[in-house]
Amino acid sequence: MAARPLIRLNPHQERRLKAGHPWAYSNEIRMTPELRGLTPGLPVRLEGDDGWRGGTFAFNPHSLIAARLLDRDPEAAIDGDWIRRRIAAAAALRARVADRRFHRLVHAEADGLPGLVVDRYGEVAVVAANSAWADGMTGEIVAALIAELGLAGVVGRNDSPVRELEGLPQAVALLAGQAGRVAVEEGGLRFGIDLMAGQKTGWFFDQRRNRDMVAALAAGARVLDAFCHLGAFGLRCAAAGATSVTLIDSSAAALAGATEAAAENGLAGRVAMRRGDALEAMAEAGQAGERYDIVVCDPPAFAKSRKDQAAGLRAYGRMARLAARLVAPGGLLFVASCSYHAPLEAFAAAVAEGLHRARREGRVLATTGAGPDHPVHPHLPESAYLKAQLIQLD
């Protein structure tokens, strides 16, 4: 094997990496013309200016995150067998902590596979390669998934804006076998998912335990599910005994999927659909005097980048204010954010301000995140992107 390229950190830049952080940023690396010409995603050896050996990293000279840890062994063979071992370890963990057929199988750096996300839908997996290294190893990743799990198909959903930061094009493609429309099972319900055309990787597994929590409180309740996507929160509540459920989303395709799921699961008689901007729809509902026992707000990211943070937090505050006015006395409000750039403390403060502006008092019953199939890397708070609160209002 040819000698692996060596990259060195600038002086005094190794402290964070020595402490276990898996990334080196471009301004921390001694960039040379030779390094700038390396193929993005290439495994390299990383060393500190003092000679400290960091291990094998995937290097992308065109990305702010220039080096991502692959292995502490600087000579590790990063090949199909290496990938298969990592995927086998991730699958073994999910067998212990998650649904055995439907779950997030690989959660990037937290599973030792930087930039790689894999969701499993029974006999089909959806792969999102969000780093140059993962994109370049797609063939080996697909082969490892099929070998370890015996899958019938693998879909590539490489259409995330995150790929642009790595200099990668966006694409959706069938990578192996057969895949298209599948049914995901949760809480005794079935939801039809189009893996080639749905949002992100098709289903939001990260909210599963939060849906369990909310549904357990829904018997006899009137429920509003805003930003509903396929209606997972609302339909889970209907199945748990809610007397009525209203689903709001701006996407006609999402509401069509929710309508289909309601009918397939025998819940259509208690579920109403309302298409429109969720914030505007909640404002109109409040003016009309509508009240619900449970209001769920699980929006898309309002703060997609650092520059959007202030505006995003204002949007979360407005959402909480509008939603709180719809909650009947003694009822429950569930609010969530999938924005890493809206950290928990700031998000909770925005929600609290929204409740105050709505002139509602209450108490936080639970502060939660994603389930254990979305593990968090100890040194990467970015992997703990989801935060949520369940609040009772007087």
Q: For 98-155, what is each residue's pLDDT tens digit?
A: 988 999 999 999 999 999 999 999 999 999 999 999 999 999 999 999 999 999 999 9
pLDDT for res 367: 97
* Cross-strand pairs, 248: 226, 274
**Nearest-10 Cα torsion for 73, 74, 75, 79:** 80
User: Of all helices (H) and strands (E), which one includes residue 261?
Assistant: helix 252-264
Domains 6-71 and 204-393 alike in fold: no
Residues of the chain with pLDDT under 50: none
Catalytic positions: 338
Check: CATH 2.30.130.10 for 6-71?
yes
pLDDT for res 382: 74
pLDDT for res 202: 78
Which class in CATH covers the domain with range 80-182?
alpha beta
* Fold of the domain spanning 204-393: Rossmann fold (3.40.50)
Domain extents for the chain? 6-71, 80-182, 204-393
Q: Tokens at residue 305, please?
A: 């980048």
pLDDT for res 200: 64
How far lies 359's CA from each of 184, 284, 313, 322, 347, in Å? Answer: 40, 18, 19, 11, 19
**8 Å CB contact between 392 and 332:** yes
- For helices 232-239 and 208-215, give the axis angle rounded to 10 degrees: 40
How far lies 315's CA from each of 133, 284, 310, in Å? Answer: 35, 17, 9
Average pLDDT score over the chain: 94
pLDDT for res 3: 82
pLDDT for res 306: 82
Closest listed residue to residue 136, CA positions, set 78, 75, 201: 78
